[in-house]
Amino acid sequence: MTSPDPQPKTTQPSPHQIEIRDLHASVGDLPILKGINLIVPRGELHAVMGPNGNGKSTLAKVIVGDPEYTVTGGEVLVDGVNILEMEPDERARLGVFLAFQYPVEIPGVTIANFLRLAMQARKAEGEEVSFTEFYGKLLAALKTLEWDESIVERYLNAGFSGGEKKRNEILQMLMLDPSYIIMDETDSGLDVDALKIVARGVNSMRGPGLGGLIITHYQRLLDYIVPDKVHIIVDGKVVQSGGPELAQKLDTEGYDWVKELATA
Amino acid sequence: MTQPLSDHLAQHTGPDWLTAKRKQSFDLFDTLEVPHSGVEAWKYTQVVIDFGKLNPHPKREAVHDVSALPKSVQERLSSTDVGAFLVLDGPDVVYRTELPAELTEKGVIFTDLKSALEQYPDKVQQYLYSVVPAEVPDDTTIAAPGTTPSKSPDPSEGKFSAMAAALWTNGAFVYVPRGVEVALPLGSFRVMSEAGTFTATRTLVVAEENARVTFIDEQDSEDLPGTYAIGAVELVVKDGAQLRYVSIQNWGKGVTHIQRQRGDVGKDAVLNSLVVTMGGTLSRTEMQSYLRGQGSDSEMLALYFANEDQHFDHYTLQHHAAANAHSDLLYKGVSDDRSVGVFSGMIKVDLGAQKTDAYQKHRTLMLSSEAQNFSVPQLEINANDVRCSHGSTTGPVDQEQLFFLKSRGIREEQAEKMLVTAFLEDVLGRVPLQSVVKYIEGIIAKKVGAA
């Protein structure tokens, strides 16, 4: 296992970054993550690529605290704070947001009510989400996503197409202003038009305050959301890191050569 | 043993046929036992009641202004959109609004049963007791699992209906003539205001051929220890008619609520029912659809939320007596704290009721390991070309949904409340009565908030 660069012991403020240190996790008895090391500073979006079934989605879910997964070692530091002992809702309120690969349907909860309560959860005791704050933000987000206002009266993802569910994930992202986003194969099942809309949503948030991981199997999404760095995960470890050109190489050459890296 | 009750019986005045009927019902009531746990349809619900000490709810005077009504009633009335309503406090109508003139001109009647006996004696005599008689209807039975239902139910299942038949004091009477459509819902608001008493009521709604009407039956009170509400609701849905019936039981703590609701549904007629059970300490609500006519249709919906030591028992009957009829039942309930929930539902298909399409589903959300929920779905099918299905599910809040909400920063407690509300909301989505739905949502929110 490789160790991350040692952090200098100083009294400086915590770095604005997600740092994953030697992360191990399993489902039941099956180890999936076998020592992931990654640093994503705010201001950068990193692509995480790799063959299916090698731990990309597991990494996403472990970061946000999916109870299906057991962390068996390592740390995930968000702005210097280890979040692995925190409840999923605490992690979210720290500013971590996962755009799910398969968002759940919740009939009976309207999108509007859900968004309002999620925003409210971020407020201090006694402080209310104002109508203007909510509505102003909502209208802007819907415009970016080319979505009619009536959508928010519908039940959360109930009867939505795959593309609508993904668009709804981006809507939540825009409304909740995360500091770190993790996009878990958001491109899967999207046609080019939907892909462009999703990318526009993400790009509208890009800036020095936002860091994140874009998990994808294909180069396709990265044509629209150009990553600052690309990491390749094989067999639960980061086997290669590089610039955007790495994604293009995977696109033309496939994954065979990286699988060899893992066994080497 | 039932001295106060027989004294009470003697005080009822009315036409001879009714006096005879009351007397006959009382005699039946007197001979029957309270259903015990050996009676399958009452297996999980034991009513503890001392008839010797049961006193009738005191009389209440009518008021002429809403502001003289109890605050909670005023509040409720301020947000209702029913076209006309009665307010009953215990045995008496204390306030009423009149039907719009255009409806009375068409022959629509909306009044209380006592007044109706004087003004429309023939109509009342024709229909009263025709759907919910004193004795238990022949088709009301649930057999022990694995056995064929016996031809007749246990007579004790008629104990409380006999009591309601003998001792009813008042209730709403609705009559909609042939082909008339009443657009705004009509309703009765029943309250009780004296602890340690009982009130027996009877409601009669008649929709003649091709008539359309909605009736809302609401019950609400402060906490009233040792108080009993015994009711019967008769729904006559003639050929081609459409009747929507909503009962909202929101009694205070300490109230025992026992009510048999039954519809007699004619050819191509539709009965939509919604049963909402939120209040009281012990509640037994029966909803029976007797699909008498070919092509008749019954939608039976319910939602309940039992917490603390509440005991809610829902009995349902979908009796297909004619061919090509359709029934669709969805009951959803939440069980919290130490509460007990019981659902026993029977789909009964008579010989000759071919092409029956009957569906029954009971879903329960369990929020506490101390809560109990019993589900007894039953089929008795005597025709060979039918489509019948039933199902029952019980489980905790969906963990995947819970995780999703938490992943958006919503705290677990709040997320659970959202999911509980959503679980019940699903039923309300099928009820096209905006203000009633809003009211029910308010009651749910209060209960979920307190959970």
What is the DSSP secondary-structure string of A204-219?
HH-STT-EEEEE-SSS
> Angle CA(B82)–CA(B88)–CA(B93) in degrees, nearest 5?
100
Taking only Cα atoms into account, the Rg of chain A, rounded to an integer number of angstroms, comes to 18
Position B3 scores a pLDDT of: 74
Query: Which residue from A87, A107, A108 is facing B412, i.e. has the nearest CB?
Result: A87
Position A248 scores a pLDDT of: 87
pLDDT band at B451 (very low <50, low <70, confident <90, very high): low
The residue of B407, B413, B426, B441 whose CB has the most chain A CBs within 10 angstroms, and thus the best one to mutate to test that interface, is B407
How far apart are the C-alpha atoms of B233 and B130, rounded to whole Å? 11
Write out chain B residues lying below 8 Å of A67, CB-based. 399, 403
How far apart are the C-alpha atoms of A240 and A238, rounded to whole Å? 6
The residue of A63, A68, A89 whose CB has the most chain B CBs within 10 angstroms, and thus the best one to mutate to test that interface, is A89
Write out chain B residues lying below 8 Å of A116, CB-based. none
* 3 state SS for B255-273: EEEEEEEEEEECCCCEEEE
Q: The domain A17-102+181-263: what is its CATH number?
A: 3.40.50.300
Query: Which residue from B405, B415, B422 is facing A108, i.e. has the nearest CB?
Result: B422
Q: Which residue from A minimizes the CA distance to B421?
A: A108
- pLDDT tens per residue across span B386-427: 999 999 999 999 999 999 999 999 999 999 999 999 999 889
CA A181 to chain centre: 4
* A98–B404 C-beta distance less than 8 A: no
Name residue, tokens 């909609």.
B176
Q: From the CA of A74, how many Å to the nearest CA of chain B?
A: 21
Q: Chain-wide mean pLDDT for chain B?
A: 94
* A122–B421 C-beta distance less than 8 A: no
* Orientation of helix B412-428 relative to helix B399-406, angle to 10°: 120
How far apart are the C-alpha atoms of A62 and A60, rounded to whole Å? 6
DSSP B147: S
ipTM: 0.93
How far apart are the C-alpha atoms of B318 and B297, rounded to whole Å? 10
The A-side interface with B (CB below 8 A) comprises: 64-67, 87-89, 91-93, 97-98, 100, 103-104, 106-109, 113-114, 117-118, 121-122, 155, 172, 176
pLDDT band at A2 (very low <50, low <70, confident <90, very high): very low
List the domain boundaries for chain B: 3-398
Position B145 scores a pLDDT of: 59
Position B321 scores a pLDDT of: 94
Position B79 scores a pLDDT of: 87
Residue A1 has pLDDT above 50, yes or no: no
For chain A, percent helix, then strand, then coil, each to nearest 5?
35, 25, 35
Query: Which residue from A66, A106, A122 is facing B422, i.e. has the nearest CB?
Result: A106
| pTM of this structure | 0.88
